[in-house]
């Protein structure tokens, strides 16, 4: 032994497939300790009979909780106490149906300034866990931050969106997309939230938000990169043609 503690020393035999909520890697998690069956209490969230164990992600070594919810445990009787000797076999037969923390889909934005990309990614994360009002409010924030980044700082968001179009940073169709995000976002910002937001509407608004970012940042960056490549292909004497 070299004196360092290796997680492999404490890992038990069972491995389960995971998309890790910490590092986002798809791989394996190894069970750390005995399964725990919390007392069944109807009415609590996740009130189904549960078996849970601590696992560590084989990629990042962080701790994740694997849970199995079910009325039946294939291969085991529900009356049976699943003790330390049986838990490995239990996980082999019944892999966890839920991991905590759960992997949440974000979004990658190339060429978008980091603070705006991070807010836009957060909007997608919100939507992916059903926080639709937060997602829409964040999409509105992304528009405000984008206008600010392009030195459009005066007036209401309505005027800022129109100014982005006047500066030809967005097309007419993208301008109306931005106004739809603003309309929904304003309801959230001003407390008009008595009507629930459909998850489909939130997803569609985020698609529009991505379109605005694509047009303002990504399209310009790709065009500039290709222009530079094209210029490099040309010999100096060809440049006039
Ligand atoms: Zn991980």
Q: What is the pLDDT of residues 206-219, one digit of tens each?
A: 999 999 999 999 99
User: pLDDT tens digits for 163-184?
Assistant: 999 999 999 999 999 999 999 9
The CA distances from residue 139 to 81, 120, 129, 133, 142, in Å, are 49, 7, 16, 10, 5
What is the value of pTM for the model shown? 0.63
SS3 88: helix
Whole-number Å distance, alpha carbon 127 to ligand 1 midpoint, is: 22
Q: Give distance in angstroms: CA of 32 to centre of ligand 1.
A: 14
Mean pLDDT computed over 12-28: 85
Where along the chain do the CATH 1.20.120 domains lie?
A: 114-233
Name every residue whose Cβ is closer than 8 Å to that of residue 177 and which is 6 or more positions away in sequence: 208, 211, 212
Query: What separation in Å is there between the alpha carbon of 102 and the centre of ligand 1?
Result: 11
Tell me what the mean pLDDT of segment 46-67 comes to: 83
Which CATH number applies to 114-233?
1.20.120
Q: How many Å lie between the centroid of ligand 1 and the Cα of residue 19? A: 8
Query: Looking at the predicted structure, is the pLDDT value of residue 49 above 70?
Result: no
**Maximum average pLDDT range among 24-28, 145-149, 234-238:** 145-149
Strand residue runs (E) in 142-223? none
| Distance between Cα 13 and ligand 1 center (Å) | 18
Q: 195 C-alpha to center of ligand 1: Å? A: 38
Residue 37 is predicted with a pLDDT of 64
pLDDT digits over 118-143, tens only? 999 999 989 888 899 999 999 999 99
């Amino acid at each position: 032994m070299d004196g360092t503690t290796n997680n492999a020393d404490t890992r038990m035999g069972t491995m389960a497939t995971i998309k890790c909520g910490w590092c986002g890697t798809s791989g394996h998690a190894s069970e750390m300790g005995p399964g725990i069956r919390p007392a069944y209490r109807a009415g609590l969230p996740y009130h189904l009979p549960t078996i849970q164990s601590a696992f560590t992600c084989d990629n990042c070594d962080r701790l994740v909780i694997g849970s199995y919810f079910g009325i039946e445990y294939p291969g085991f009787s529900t009356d049976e106490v699943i003790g330390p000797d049986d838990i490995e076999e239990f996980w082999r037969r019944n892999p966890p149906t839920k991991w905590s923390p759960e992997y949440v889909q974000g979004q990658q934005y190339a060429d978008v300034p980091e603070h705006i990309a991070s807010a836009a990614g957060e909007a997608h994360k919100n939507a992916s866990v059903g926080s639709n009002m937060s997602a829409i409010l964040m999409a509105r924030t992304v528009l405000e931050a984008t206008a600010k980044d392009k030195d459009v700082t005066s007036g209401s968001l309505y005027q800022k969106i129109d100014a982005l179009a006047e500066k030809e940073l967005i097309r007419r169709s993208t301008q109306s997309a931005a106004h739809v995000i603003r309309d929904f976002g304003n309801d959230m910002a001003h407390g008009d939230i008595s009507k629930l937001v459909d998850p489909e509407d939130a997803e569609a608004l985020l698609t529009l938000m991505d379109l605005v970012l694509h047009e303002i940042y990504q399209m310009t960056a790709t065009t500039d990169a290709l222009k530079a490549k094209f210029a490099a292909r040309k010999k100096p004497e060809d440049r006039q043609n």
